[in-house]
Amino acid sequence: MPIVLIAAALYFTATALLILASRAGRSGNPRGWLLPASGAVVLHAVVHWQAWARHGTADLHFFAALSLVGLGMAGLTFLMGASGRMRALGVVAFPLAALLLLTYGLAGHSSAAQPLDWRLLLHAWMALLAYATLALSTVLAIFLWLQERALRRREFHPWLRVLPPLTELETLLFRTIAAGFALLSATLLTGILFVEDLFAQHLVHKTFLSILSWFAFGALLLGRHFRGWRGTTAVRWTLAAMLLLLLAFFGSKFVLEVVLHRTG
């Protein structure tokens, strides 16, 4: 638990430094957040590695999976921000990762976790990375909507300075969606290949909603390529597709594991 608290404190510190840097403008330290953010991501990973080493298997129950998605979002945000792109994502990703880690720390490791072979682990890790990437795309979509809304109303808020130009933000959004779509495709493919009971009763809703989300993200990318979809249209499709994906995985896990206390 002390590691969890330290990691959460570092996440919040990184968030505070990002906000202060954005308010200070050029006079601030735009890279001061990197050290606490990197420490938070490393300690977050250590928490899950220790649980794996202690119990001999990866913990993928509801709260652990949420925490791992938060870790993925924080790690990707750190890499993007360190390269000088969209460090503003950290204002959302870092506190969210901290809250999910704290929730996992309070919930503890699932005693019912069963060992998984490498094929199912590969499927699970791809799924979590896909969720993390597409969750970041959702944050980018919200930023895009807020930026367009502010510009239409001629409301030049200080936080607009930390966002890239509208066209660059839109390009980054679709690149992130494309990466997440590729990972989601790999997730569905490994599910078909490695999960024997993919359409079993307790997985059919998850599978069906995941496929619907895949179609929605795919349609958005096709609409962007062939019809030039952008702006509000892109935001709506992104939010709808992500909602389907959240219901597919975490909605199903919440009902099964938290409400019904079932595993598998």
**CB crowding 151-166: b at 16 or more within 10 Å, else e:** eeeeeeeeebebbeee
Directed axis angle between helix 118-152 and helix 166-194, to 10°? 160
pLDDT tens for residues 153-207?
777 766 666 777 888 889 999 999 999 999 999 999 988 887 776 555 456 778 8
**Spatial contact of 94 and 11, defined as CB atoms under 8 Å apart:** yes
On average, the pLDDT of the chain sits at 85
85: which DSSP letter?
Answer: S
Closest by Cα among 186, 187, 177 to 238: 177
Under the banding of pLDDT at 50, 70 and 90, the label for residue 29 is: low
Under the banding of pLDDT at 50, 70 and 90, the label for residue 27 is: very low
Compute CA distances 144 → 138, 139, 162, 174, whole Å.
10, 9, 12, 11
Q: Determine the average pLDDT of the residues in 49-63.
A: 81
Q: Output Rg (C-alpha) for the chain, integer angstroms.
A: 19
pLDDT tens for residues 71-82?
999 999 999 888
